[in-house]
Amino acid sequence: MNIGVLALQGDVREHLTALAESDVLARPVRRPEELAEVDGLVIPGGESTAISKLAVSFGLLDPIRKRIADGMPVYGSCAGMIMLATTVLDGRSDQETFQGIEMTVRRNAFGRQVDSFEASVEIDDVDGGPFHAVFIRAPWVEQVGGDVRVLGRVAEGADAGRIVAVRQGNLLATAFHPELTGDLRVHRYFVEMVRQAL
Ligand code: GLN
């Protein structure tokens, strides 16, 4: 099994490390030929406008959309969540996404004065207690379509109840960054999704 990490911008290395620690072969993906060789793809946290522009100029926008339509498992964290959304609020007008998850996300949604915060989040399907979730200028999910499963919400504080983890078929997205905290449960969950799709 090969899992790629979209390596245009963002915290690519952290995802490669988390995948390697989850015992899979993980490799950076920058070109369509590299995309063709992977069984699943991670879209890292970073800046979704930059990822969007670079995906267009590296000729990856349509190939990734096509792999998604063909059922390739994809996991997006933070900016990666935005890149999987069908609708983006507070995005730039020329922002493209890979589509896939029928949801409306709002960029930089959590209190603009606070760049980052931490909260606990329970994720359905993932055992072992709540995640210590790190949010960095994170989006939240405002609306989901009928085929989307809400997997996790913020458990506490002013933003309690906000949707921050979703799954639709083979697509998984979190507004937070498990790749930054050394908790491998989301990556292992994704690896299992890829294994089942082989
Ligand atoms: N605010 C960023 C964006 O809109 C996402 C931040 C992140 O990935 N940590 O793309």
Nearest residue by C-alpha to atom 1 in ligand 1:
137
pLDDT over threshold 90, residue 112? no
Cα of 198 from ligand 1 centre, angstroms: 30
Q: Give me the interface pTM, i.e. the ipTM.
A: 0.96
pLDDT at 114 (0 to 100): 67
pLDDT in tens, 7-64: 999 999 999 999 999 999 999 999 999 999 999 999 999 999 999 999 999 999 999 9
Q: What is the pTM of this model?
A: 0.97
* Sign of the torsion angle spanned by Cα atoms 4, 10, 15, 16: positive
Q: Which candidate, 33, 131, 28, 41, places its Cα nearest to that of 84?
A: 41
Q: Which candidate, 108, 114, 117, 98, places its Cα nearest to that of 142?
A: 108
pLDDT at 157 (0 to 100): 86
Query: Checking DSSP bridges between strand 163-168 and strand 131-136, what pairing results, if any?
Result: unpaired
Confidence of residue 113 (pLDDT cuts 50, 70, 90): low
Residue 66 pairs in a beta bridge with: none
Chain-centroid distance, C-alpha 14: 13
Q: Which candidate, 16, 18, 86, 88, places its Cα nearest to that of 47?
A: 88
- In this structure, the residues whose C-beta lies within 6 A of any atom of ligand 1 are 45-48, 78-79, 82, 107-108, 136-137
Q: Which residues contact 115 (CB under 8 A, 6 or more apart)?
A: 136, 137
Q: Which of 14, 15, 96, 177 is catalytic?
A: 177
The per-residue pLDDT of the chain, averaged, comes to 96
pLDDT at 64 (0 to 100): 98
Residue 52 among known ligand-binding residues:
no
Domains of the chain, with CATH numbers? 2-197 (3.40.50.880)
Q: What is the largest CA-CA distance in the chain?
A: 45
